[in-house]
Structures are given as C-alpha cells and as structure tokens.
Structure 1
Amino acid sequence: MGIISWIVLGLIAGALAKWIMPGKDPGGFIVTILIGVAGAFVGGFVGSLVGLGTVGGLSLGSIVTAIVGALILLFAYRLIANRAG
C-alpha cells in the first residue's frame, strides 16, 4: 500500500478514533488526526508482527487495525499530556 493510502487511512482512523473515544484532547482535532496517521502505521506494524493483520490494502481489516493503533496512541497521548499538565 502506498504512502498516500496510509495517510488517507490514518486520517479516517484518527477521525473514527476521536469519535469512539470522545473527550478533550490537549492539542485539538488536528493533533488527534495526526495521531490517527501514526496509529495506522503503528497498527499495521504491530498487527503484521503478531499475525493479526496488516494495513496492507484498503479493507475492513486494515481499517480496524488502523483504528486500534490510533486508539492506543490517543490513549497514551492523553495519559502523557494529562500528567505533564
């Protein structure tokens, strides 16, 4: 999957992660979307390592993997930002 597809999938994953996990994020919606892009990469990497799937094509499995990655990163970001603030 090309880098543009990863970014688009990450944007979708970030928006869905924000919808699934609402609340005030230190940094706003743009930071949440960027975390979604990173989550798509992390989700695809970790998913491929443990054999749960990859973000290798635009499918339901790749979207779920990217969303899970985005949720994990969003949760970690909130923990770190709340402790620092």
Structure 2
Amino acid sequence: MGHGIIVTIILGFIIGLIAKFLMPGRDPGGFIVTIILGILGSVVAGYIGRALHWYGPGQPAGFIASIFGAILLLIIYRVVIGNRTTV
C-alpha cells in the first residue's frame, strides 16, 4: 500500500516538472505544488478521457495525457491569478 503512494508522488512530481518545463513563465509554488499539479493533472486527464470515451470506467489516464492535464491546470491558474492585481 505504501509503495503505491510513493509511486504516485514521484510520478506526480515528474509530470508536474514536465508541464512546468513545457510552459515557461511564472507558475505556482515549489516542490509540493509541483507534485500536486502533476497528480491533479492526471486526475483531470482521466476525467476528460472518460467523458470523451477514450478511457473505460476506472482506467487511469496515460502519462502524456497527464502532462496535458497538468498544462491545462497551469493555463487555468495563469488566467485566474493573472487577473488579480496586487497592492
């Protein structure tokens, strides 16, 4: 059980790093945020893939799709945060 969590964290970090590398610019946080970005990117890609019938029920997103999911989250982050002004 513990190995699955560790693998998820490592893959999330790798996916988050690749997404940040492919989208240069100011992005959120450091190590922890990169892991969360990668994991959530995989979740988003899986949800979209199942909605489009690319994946079956319970089937996880692939590595490349997870990277695209993380990039999508980065785009959303930049749109939301980019509209805020700091005083």
Taking structure 2 as the reference length, what is the TM-score of the superposition?
0.71
The one-letter code sitting in structure 1 at the alignment partner of 2:30 is: F
Q: Partners of 1:6 and 1:36 in 2: how far apart?
A: 9
Unaligned regions of 5+ residues in structure 2, if any? none
- The root-mean-square deviation of aligned C-alpha atoms, in Å, is 2.5
Computing the radius of gyration over CA atoms, which structure comes out larger, 1 or 2? 2
Q: What's the CA shift string for 1:27-60, capped at 9, x where partnerless?
A: 333324322221111111211221224763xxxx
**Which structure carries more helix by proportion?**
1
- Residue-pair matches, total: 79
Residue identity (%): 35
| Structure 1: runs of 5 or more not aligned | none
TM-score w.r.t. length of structure 1: 0.72
Task: Show structure 1 runs of 4+ deviating over 4 A.
Answer: none
